[in-house]
């Protein structure tokens, strides 16, 4: 927490130096002076500040719920304080370890496969000659991003349901046996990753394609002169030039590695307990504890754990990146 503050105050210093001319006359450059001087700007920002205060900052106080025996009828600080009991239950049941592994594992897979494939597709698409073909292909691949997760669950149901799903129909036709996919926990590891890619590849591809379009033609011309073939041009020019886009996307993705893709998991798995071992993530667990099993204490504890773990993770990654290359750090 210290680092971002230091950095932003460093920025402030340069700012006030830039505004030095204007401020020099006043001498009073405290908060209230600024408040009066830029009152319209403050007023314009106020709704946003209030919004985040209500929607994000007030709930932070509610972290206290995780340390109490929850009772909907009493107010927050009247609830019975139980210390770390909720966390202890979570830990002892082995739930926390499983949830953490699943959450981090899936999101790491999403980030890795998502970016590598998006870069590959963007490079291939960029090489296509037909202008219309290129446009149509891009639109088609972007399409799944626009459909809701509820529709995605309909698609998955259509393909995999036991009685008349597309897969089983096909298997019967070629003389095979029906498969009960909804009873095979391990299959869902691949299915979830697959459908994540199906839905998101087109979107990330567009971002990388934009970055490729931004690379100056001169590099390619020069490489051609030197006799580099297309594979060499891609490997030595395109790929390195995409590095900064990749790092930015990576950092944004890392920021949500503890709370990624709730919709995807919940819509595909729902309340199918058979699959929890391989598919339950922190978000789905918390949601279920709140809405289905009414285990509010556990849900709060898991939520706090998620926030803290995620926060520490981001801070660590950001610290490492700042050590390696200051330019790429988030803050």
Partner 1 sequence: MAIKEDVYTRIFQILSYAVIIIASIACLLPFLLIISASLTSNESIIRDGYHFIPQEFSLEGYRTVFTFPEEVLRAYGVTIFTTVVGTTLGLFLMTMAGYVLARKDFKYRNAFSFYIYFTTLFGGGLVPWYIMLTKYLGLLDTYTVLIFPGLMTPFLIILMKNFIRSSMPEELFESAKIDGAGDFKIYYRIVLPLSTPGIATVGLFLALAYWNDWFSSSLFINDPHKYQLQYYLYNVINSMQFIAQMGAGTGVSLSNDMPTESTKMAMAIVVTGPILLLYPFIQRYFVKGLTIGAVKG
Could you tell me the smallest distance in angstroms from the CB atom of residue 277 to partner 1?
22
Determine if 112 is a binding residue for partner 1 (CB under 8 A).
no
Determine if 86 is a binding residue for partner 1 (CB under 8 A).
no
Number of residues in contact with partner 1 under rule CB under 8 A? 113
Q: Which of 71, 127, 180, 221 binds partner 1 (CB under 8 A)?
A: 127
107 phi/psi in degrees, rounded to 5: -65, -35
Determine if 65 is a binding residue for partner 1 (CB under 8 A).
yes
Contacts with partner 1 in 144-173 (CB under 8 A)?
144, 146-151, 153-155, 157-159, 163-166, 168-169, 172
Q: Which of 3, 17, 26, 41 binds partner 1 (CB under 8 A)?
A: 41
Structure tokens at 284: 């789905």
Determine if 15 is a binding residue for partner 1 (CB under 8 A).
yes
Q: Which of 56, 78, 175, 327 binds partner 1 (CB under 8 A)?
A: 56
Determine if 310 is a binding residue for partner 1 (CB under 8 A).
yes
Cα(150)–Cα(199) distance, integer angstroms: 12
Q: Which is nearer to partner 1, 169 or 183 (CB)?
A: 169
Q: Which is nearer to partner 1, 122 or 276 (CB)?
A: 122
Determine if 140 is a binding residue for partner 1 (CB under 8 A).
yes
Contacts with partner 1 in 213-252 (CB under 8 A)?
213-214, 224, 227, 229-231, 244-245, 248, 252
Determine if 201 is a binding residue for partner 1 (CB under 8 A).
yes
Cα(322)–Cα(60) distance, integer angstroms: 28
Which residues have a Cβ under 8 Å from the Cβ of 140 and sit 6 or more positions away? 202
Q: Which is nearer to partner 1, 189 or 251 (CB)?
A: 251
């Amino acid at each position: 927490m210290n680092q971002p503050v230091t950095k932003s105050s460093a920025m402030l210093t340069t700012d006030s130096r830039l505004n030095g001319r204007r401020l020099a006359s006043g001498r009073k450059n405290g908060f209230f002076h600024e408040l009066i001087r830029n009152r319209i700007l403050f007023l314009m920002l106020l709704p946003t500040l209030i919004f985040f205060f209500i929607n994000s900052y007030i709930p932070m106080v509610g972290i206290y719920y995780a340390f109490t025996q929850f009772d909907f009828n009493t107010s927050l600080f009247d609830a019975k304080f139980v210390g770390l009991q909720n966390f202890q239950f979570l830990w002892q049941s082995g739930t926390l370890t499983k949830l953490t592994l699943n959450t981090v594992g899936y999101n790491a897979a999403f980030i890795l496969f998502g970016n590598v494939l998006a870069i590959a597709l963007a490079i291939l698409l960029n090489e296509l000659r037909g202008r219309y073909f290129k446009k149509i292909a891009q639109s088609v691949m972007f399409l799944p991003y626009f459909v809701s997760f509820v529709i995605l669950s309909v698609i998955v149901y259509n393909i995999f349901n036991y009685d008349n799903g597309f897969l089983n129909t096909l298997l019967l036709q070629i003389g095979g046996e029906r498969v009960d996919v909804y009873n095979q926990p391990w299959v869902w590891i691949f299915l979830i990753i697959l459908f994540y890619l199906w839905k998101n590849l087109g979107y990330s591809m567009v971002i990388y394609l934009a970055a490729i379009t931004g690379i100056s033609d001169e590099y390619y011309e020069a490489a051609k002169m030197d006799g580099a073939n297309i594979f060499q041009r891609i490997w030595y020019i395109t790929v390195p030039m995409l590095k900064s886009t990749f790092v930015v996307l990576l950092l944004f993705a890392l920021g949500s590695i503890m709370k990624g893709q709730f919709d995807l998991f919940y819509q595909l798995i729902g309340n199918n307990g058979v699959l929890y071992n391989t598919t339950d993530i922190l978000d789905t667990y918390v949601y279920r504890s709140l809405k289905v099993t009414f285990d509010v204490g556990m849900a709060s504890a898991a939520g706090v754990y998620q926030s803290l773990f995620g926060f520490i993770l981001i801070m660590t990654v950001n610290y490492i990146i700042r050590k390696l290359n200051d330019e790429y750090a988030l803050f």
